[in-house]
Amino acid sequence: MKMEDIARLAGVSKAAVSLAFSGKPGIGDETRARILSVAGKAGYKPRKSVQAQEAATIADAAVEEASPALLFLVIANAGIVTSQYDRQPFFRELIHFLEQGSRAGGFSLLISAIDMARFDEDLRAIADMHSDRGVILLGTNLNKETLSRIAERLHKLIVLDTCFETLPIPFVYTNNVLGGYQAGTWLCRSGHRSIGYAASDVRIPNFDARRRGFDDAMREWSIAVSSEHEFSVDPMAPAAQAVFRDRIEKMQSAGKPLPTAIFCESDFIAIGVIKSLAELGVRVPEDVSVVGFDDIAEAVIVSPELTTVRVDKEKMVRSAVRLATSLDDSPSEGGMNISVATALIERRSSAAPPSV
């Protein structure tokens, strides 16, 4: 195993690994301990020098100090989860609560990332190092086949933020259908009848579930979403998006009415919609109300503050940690699924339509 492999498994850069082994400043104590722990578990041997020998000794000590520990595993560069996942607001908040929950339970938290381009090789290495450890896997971007392959290797596995009911694996996930339904129902009760939908152009099961819930609400209120008011946007760009902006501008130029409200499949999408509308002089919420999903920290920073569906990330994580720290030898046989409810959080980006 090379230094590049240690960096990938620890979810850090090669430079950070070098700093950890040399004992030089430039990285935090938790990051250094994680790198050394991964290296020690992997049996990594630095080049034979005084510094390297000292680093190897530290790594061995770090392994013992880190036990007992949970592993948080991410499959990067697949779907909406990039190699910089720890900088993405939703996943950054999950990691924060995971660190808190693990510490409260008397466990340390190890974080590793598998690059999808090296999936089989990295998974083998992870399984060799952590076969007896509880593993919480970020499942947001993963399909059924990939989850099955991982579960074959990691027998103490909890999957976070997705659910496939036909897999005998423990899942802890958000009730996305409920959240989409809550958003749609709230808009209808507020008086909106011309409602738009801003969808991610990268599809994951969570987004599909949100759409199902939203469509259920529309059917109950006998409202049809016009094809002109259906938008497909980049879910990773919380900025004005040309494709969305051009569609709105064409409707304005043709004298066609805009939807009085737009439901967005995520807060990042909603923030981009608000910025795009502002560039065209469309006021939020006076002209168009905007509702998001996730309730990330940025939802209260954007102007106006975002009405959104709250995902209880802390409760999800607490449930996952509780399961992961009480696993028997074969938890994947007859797994337990925990669904966490959502709540509509009303802020200033939404109001009754102008005609009401």
The DSSP line for 129-162 is HHTTS-EEEE-TT--HHHHHHHHHH-SSEEEES-
**Which residue has better confidence, 28 or 35?**
35
Same fold, 3-174 and 176-311: yes
pLDDT computed for residue 264 by the predictor? 98
Burial of 119 (0-12, 13-18, 19+ CB in 10 A): middle
pLDDT at 47 over 50: no
Mean pLDDT, residues 296-316 taken together: 95
pLDDT at 288 over 70: yes
pLDDT computed for residue 328 by the predictor? 54
**Which residue has better confidence, 43 or 126?**
126
Mean pLDDT, residues 282-308 taken together: 96
**What is the token pair recorded at 330?**
């074969």
pLDDT computed for residue 167 by the predictor? 92
Burial of 10 (0-12, 13-18, 19+ CB in 10 A): buried
Contact between 341 and 178 (Cβ < 8 Å): yes
**Which residue has better confidence, 161 or 336?**
161
pLDDT computed for residue 339 by the predictor? 96
Mean pLDDT, residues 28-33 taken together: 79
pLDDT at 308 over 60: yes
pLDDT at 260 over 80: yes
Percent of the chain topping pLDDT 70: 87
Summarize pLDDT for 10-30 with one digit per residue, the tens.
777 776 787 787 776 667 777
- Nearest in space to 180 (alpha carbons), one of 95, 265, 301: 265
pLDDT at 122 over 70: yes
pLDDT computed for residue 1 by the predictor? 54
Residues 6+ apart with CB under 8 A from 171: 139, 158, 159, 160, 162, 163, 164, 335, 337, 338
Task: Give the predicted TM-score (pTM) of the model.
Answer: 0.80
**Which residue has better confidence, 21 or 348?**
348
Summarize pLDDT for 211-230 with one digit per residue, the tens.
999 999 999 999 999 999 99
Task: Give the span between the Cα atoms of 92 and 148, in whole angstroms.
Answer: 26
pLDDT band at 306 (very low <50, low <70, confident <90, very high): very high
According to CATH, the topology of domain 176-311 is Rossmann fold (3.40.50)
Contact between 81 and 204 (Cβ < 8 Å): no
Strand segments, DSSP code E, in 100-256 are 108-115, 135-138, 157-160, 171-174, 195-200, 230-233
What is the sign of the dihedral through the CA atoms of 165, 171, 174 and 175?
positive
pLDDT band at 58 (very low <50, low <70, confident <90, very high): very low
Q: Where are the domains of the chain?
A: 3-174, 176-311
pLDDT at 244 over 70: yes
On average, the pLDDT of the chain sits at 86
CATH of domain 3-174: 3.40.50
